[in-house]
Structure 1
Amino acid sequence: MDKFSDMAMFVSIVKHQGLAAAGRDLGLSPATMTARLQALEERYGVKLLNRSTRHVSLTDSGELYHKACIEILDNVSEAENLIQNGVKEVKGSLKIVAPKDIGKQYILPILSEFCKQYPDVVPYLYLDDHISNIAESGMDIVIRYGELADSSLISRRLSPSRRVLCASPEYLAKHGTPLKPQDLVNHDCLAMLRSNEELKTWHFQEQDKKNAITVVPKRFSDDGEVIRYWALEGVGIALKSVLDVQADINSLRLVTVLNGYMKNFNTSTSISSTDLNVVYISKKYQPKRIRLFLDFLFDRFNSMTQI
């Protein structure tokens, strides 16, 4: 078998988390899959996968090989597309993931406008706040808040942002307005869940003074859009990105409180830790549809009023 076929097979094994499932996808028997994987490992003299009866996991060498395989296969696919359709052709899938609030309020209308200009592009818009492994997610573009630790990915700031505490005028009229962070312990708060972790310790900074307050949440959700909905209902005080609630603030449906403090879910005091970023995998041959959409996306955000 040629090296390209072996790469495709290896990527399929990792994707399906097993030789048997990958074999069914490729139309190969389990015995053939096992023999080819063993031959691949013997060729390079390293173990690529840790295998058990129910699970496979990448070794360090396997992880390096897997990343290289994905990039090479993507480059080949793009080269084939250029040959078959011409350099000027803009077509194919465009997979984007974004937080629900941002996705619905900003990305959806921008993506719809883009697809009117390029009708042969097929968009996939995933609304998800919890993409943990961007390199293996299969996404072309990930839109997310906060700084990025993985230096192998490209991260570009799409828009500055900050955290705000907000509540409905009705809630504040009934329960009063907190004047200092410590007052929050006597208020109904709305807390996010992240990987089953309750984000109920909120961090504040006023000049050089830092403070952490553990609130007693009235409700929890792993969906930022739900937190915003509850705040609008008057259920409690929410810690949100200002981009998510800017329209509500402008229309006075929500009011911000404790405005003299920098706020966050963690101890980071970096302003950029709350910015909205676009993340994507560095590729030598970035498909034209992705390059065009990135330019389109940044142009639309740049034309918005800066917060």
Structure 2
Amino acid sequence: MYSTSDLQLFIRTAETGNLSQAARGLELSTATASASLKRLEQKLGTRLFVRSTRSMRLTQDGEIFLEYSRGALTLLKEGEALISADKDTIRGNIRISASSDLGRSVLLPWLNEFQQTHTAITLTLQLSDSNVDLFREPVDMAFRYGKQQDSTLVSQHLIDNRRILVASPTYIQNHPPLLSPRDLASHNCLLYYLKQGLNNTWPFLSGKELIEVKVHGDRMANDGAVVREWALAGLGIAYKSWLDVKQDLDSGKLARLLPNYLGDEVPLNVVYPHRNSASPRVRALLVFLRGKFAKLEESDDSGK
């Protein structure tokens, strides 16, 4: 629907704030560049830039379209890299950072499958829930929940996701039933630390009503995998990412509580240190993982 050259010019103009400079960088005449932007604006039915004699500033619609334009071109590059690269030539090390639960229960089997196909690939997997700088250690990609605040990083959405309440069948059998989130006050809640501190206020959405419950419990950890193990052992109720506990739900080791109350939205994103740092091997892995997440999203019962 959109010309890649038009999108490239739009992105370059947004980055430079100058149409003539963007046109020179793409070896276009100013007239051709102006016509390109006009085509985009006509197709979208909105203005993308506020123009002045010295610069061009993105409108609010332009800011939105910029993010999606960058994502579209990145996806195309990744697809081209996967198609054009011979499996035997995709080689080298890929350094990955992820949270403990996500890495162990979701990514690990997929990474093993990827390496079985691409035998010249080696992987370095860093799993941690500690609140350290995202790229303090050198990595090629990081998988993180929620919106990223660092504008110097490139973030791409992978899958929608929510936190949900879970407990083991043993715990459920031996404790009073939950009829609403407010009943959590009489239960042992398994707590963990987020960047802002101990996560002991759990929000839920019921229709348009926001319910925030202050919870308490006898166990706290800075590692989500530990909280999951406590839940599996029947020691309390956990407020966990749906992705992190999907396998446990499917196997019946954990059960979901209060499915009509929606927890926090925590979409999963893949984050890069720099837009141009993704090598063919990294792009090949991303295309592979996107296919896996797309299939997983089809079975999403988190109530998104």
* TM-score, normalised via structure 2 length: 0.65
Separation of aligned partners in 2, 1:242 and 1:294: 21
Match for 2:287 among 282, 290, 295?
Answer: 295
Separation of aligned partners in 2, 1:306 and 1:278: 21
Matched, 1:107 2:100: no
Separation of aligned partners in 2, 1:286 and 1:183: 47
Separation of aligned partners in 2, 1:241 and 1:286: 28
Moved more, 297-306 or 205-214: 297-306
Structure 1 residue 285, shift from structure 2 partner: 5.5
**1:29-40 to 2 correspondence within 5 Å?**
none
Structure 1 residue 189, shift from structure 2 partner: 0.6
1:284–1:233: structure 2 CA closer, same or farther, 3 Å change rule? closer
Structure 1 residue 195, shift from structure 2 partner: 5.3
Residue in 2 aligned with 1:277? Answer: 269
Separation of aligned partners in 2, 1:200 and 1:117: 43
Equivalent position SS for 1:107: helix
Would you say how many aligned residue pairs link Structure 1 and Structure 2?
Answer: 214
Separation of aligned partners in 2, 1:215 and 1:238: 11
Structure 1 residue 96, shift from structure 2 partner: 0.3
Residue in 1 aligned with 2:247? Answer: 247
Equivalent position SS for 1:253: coil
Separation of aligned partners in 2, 1:148 and 1:240: 19
1:196–1:161: structure 2 CA closer, same or farther, 3 Å change rule? closer
Structure 1 residue 290, shift from structure 2 partner: 1.0
**1:5-154 to 2 correspondence within 5 Å?**
89-130=89-130, 132-154=132-154
Amino acid corresponding to residue 198 of structure 2 in structure 1: E
Match for 2:299 among 280, 291, 306?
Answer: 306
Amino acid corresponding to residue 236 of structure 2 in structure 1: G
Whether contact under 8 Å (1:218, 1:236) holds in the other structure is no
Moved more, 125-134 or 205-214: 125-134
Structure 1 residue 192, shift from structure 2 partner: 0.7
Taking only the aligned residue pairs, the percentage that are identical comes to 35
Amino acid corresponding to residue 150 of structure 1 in structure 2: D
**1:151-162 to 2 correspondence within 5 Å?**
151-162=151-162
Residue in 2 aligned with 1:218? Answer: 218
Amino acid corresponding to residue 306 of structure 1 in structure 2: S
Separation of aligned partners in 1, 2:192 and 2:277: 38
* TM-score, normalised via structure 1 length: 0.64
Amino acid corresponding to residue 94 of structure 1 in structure 2: I
Post-superposition CA distance 1:233-267 (Å, at most 9, x none):
11110000111112222222222112222223xxx
Equivalent position SS for 1:123: strand
Residue in 2 aligned with 1:238? Answer: 238
Amino acid corresponding to residue 289 of structure 1 in structure 2: R
Separation of aligned partners in 2, 1:285 and 1:185: 48
Whether contact under 8 Å (1:131, 1:137) holds in the other structure is no
1:280–1:173: structure 2 CA closer, same or farther, 3 Å change rule? same
Amino acid corresponding to residue 269 of structure 2 in structure 1: N
Residue in 2 aligned with 1:258? Answer: 258
Amino acid corresponding to residue 294 of structure 1 in structure 2: L
Amino acid corresponding to residue 285 of structure 2 in structure 1: F
Separation of aligned partners in 2, 1:199 and 1:224: 11
Equivalent position SS for 1:234: coil
Separation of aligned partners in 1, 2:277 and 2:186: 55
Post-superposition CA distance 1:204-226 (Å, at most 9, x none):
22222222211111211111111
Separation of aligned partners in 2, 1:196 and 1:156: 23
Q: CA RMSD in A?
A: 2.3
Residue in 1 aligned with 2:186? Answer: 186
1:193–1:135: structure 2 CA closer, same or farther, 3 Å change rule? closer
Post-superposition CA distance 1:69-115 (Å, at most 9, x none):
xxxxxxxxxxxxxxxxx9x8322221001111211122112212222
In structure 1, list runs of 5 or more residues that go unmatched. 1-85, 265-272
Residue in 1 aligned with 2:23? Answer: none
Structure 1 residue 185, shift from structure 2 partner: 1.1
Separation of aligned partners in 2, 1:196 and 1:302: 31
